[in-house]
A and B are shown apart, each in its own frame.
Chain A
Amino acid sequence: DQQVKQNSPSLSVQEGRISILNCDYTNSMFDYFLWYKKYPAEGPTFLISISSIKDKNEDGRFTVFLNKSAKHLSLHIVPSQPGDSAVYFCAARGGGYNFNKFYFGSGTKLNVKP
């Protein structure tokens, strides 16, 4: 049973517009959330994170929003650039004894068209 879900396998956006990637989770014990970017045949690269005590974290063009009541987080990229084209994974850290364990979504492939 997948505890972190990314229901959109792909997303296509025009350069300069906003990209919104969504992620849902089921476990209310998750206490930390992260977004990773991954190119083919490479390991994921950390992008941005947010603690469960916050609802927003911003870093340059990237903003992550967390809605705990809805168990939903999203990554906003503004403005989108062709170099942002990659697969984006959201991850949640298990709380308590599972503090070392990350649960990953299945990824969303973002294509930013020039």
Chain B
Amino acid sequence: GAVVSQHPSWVICKSGTSVKIECRSLDFQATTMFWYRQFPKQSLMLMATSNEGSKATYEQGVEKDKFLINHASLTLSTLTVTSAHPEDSSFYICSARDTQRLAETQYFGPGTRLLVL
């Protein structure tokens, strides 16, 4: 159990275009999902906390108009990188907490590698 999927697994796009990444909890409900970004050989940096039915909470320094988050259901959160630029190229990972479980852990998706040309 506790499987989180992401789609697409990788994407290459031109500068100026928008890219949408989906994060789904496959066998559990998640009122809260998280979006991370990882640069090579660095830690996972939390970008925002996605709350089902309400606005996302963004970390300091993360542009909310640049990284649009929608959490429309208990199993789906989307991250849209708007007007992508080469500096947005990175590995984006989502995670989710299982609302029904007492465990405190977050379950991670496999990640999406974004390359902006």
Contacts and interface: CB of A to CB of B under 8 A. Distances in A.
A binds B: yes
B102 to A, nearest CB: 12
Interface stretch (A13-21, A59-67, A77-85, A98-106): A98-106
Nearest to B4: A43
Interface string A84-114: 0000010001000000111111110000000
Nearest to A9: B41
21 contacts: A4-B43, A32-B104, A34-B104, A34-B105, A36-B108, A41-B110, A41-B113, A43-B93, A43-B108, A44-B93, A46-B106, A49-B103, A89-B43, A89-B44, A93-B104, A100-B34, A100-B97, A101-B46, A102-B34, A102-B106, A106-B42
Nearest to A33: B104
A2 interface: yes
Contacts of A41: 91, 110-111, 113
A1 interface: no
A45 interface: yes
B13 to A, nearest CB: 18
B49 interface: yes
Interface of A: 2, 4, 9, 32, 34, 36, 41-46, 49, 89, 93, 100-107
B78 interface: no
A103 B46 CA distance: 8
Given A46-B107, A100-B97, A103-B46, 12 more contacts: A9-B41, A34-B104, A41-B111, A42-B110, A43-B109, A49-B104, A89-B43, A89-B44, A100-B49, A104-B43, A105-B43, A107-B43
Interface residues of B, number: 25
A93 B95 CA distance: 14
Contacts of A46: 105-108
A46 to B, nearest CB: 5
| A-B residue pairs, 3 tightest by C-beta | A43-B108, A106-B43, A104-B44
B77 interface: no
